[in-house]
């Protein structure tokens, strides 16, 4: 292996160590634009071992975009809390959904 390739491999290995865990990342969105009404989704037939996570309006930095519902693997002892927009002090705050005890 050439010296250049060794340096690249070492840099990638160090970068992998320094990358934060995605599940620990939090993003807070507070905007002045109210989300559109929630879309009505047809929930597919139940699947054993899965829970339906309903769709929601996400903010892409310029406008709201719809993210369709999906099946997520069940976690015993937890329930799925849907993503939600809440009005606070005249602004709209996005509450991240996910598993809750």
Q: What is the pLDDT of residue 85?
A: 97
Using the predicted structure, report yes or no on whether residue 13 has a pLDDT greater than 60: no
Task: Determine the Cα–Cα distance for residues 73 and 49; give it in Å rounded to an integer.
Answer: 6
Which element (helix H / strand E) includes 30? Answer: strand 30-31
23-36: pLDDT as tens digits = 556 667 899 999 99
Query: Pick the residue with more confidence: 34 or 21?
Result: 34
């Amino acid at each position: 292996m050439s010296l250049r390739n060794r340096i690249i491999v070492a840099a990638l290995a160090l970068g992998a160590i320094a990358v934060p865990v995605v599940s620990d990342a939090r993003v807070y969105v507070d905007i002045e634009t109210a989300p559109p009404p929630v879309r009505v989704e047809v929930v597919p037939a139940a699947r054993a071992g899965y829970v339906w996570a309903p769709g929601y309006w996400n903010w892409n930095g310029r406008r709201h975009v719809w993210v369709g519902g999906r099946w997520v693997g069940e976690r015993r002892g937890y329930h799925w809390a849907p993503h939600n927009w809440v009005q606070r002090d005249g602004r709209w705050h996005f509450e991240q959904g996910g598993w809750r005890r």
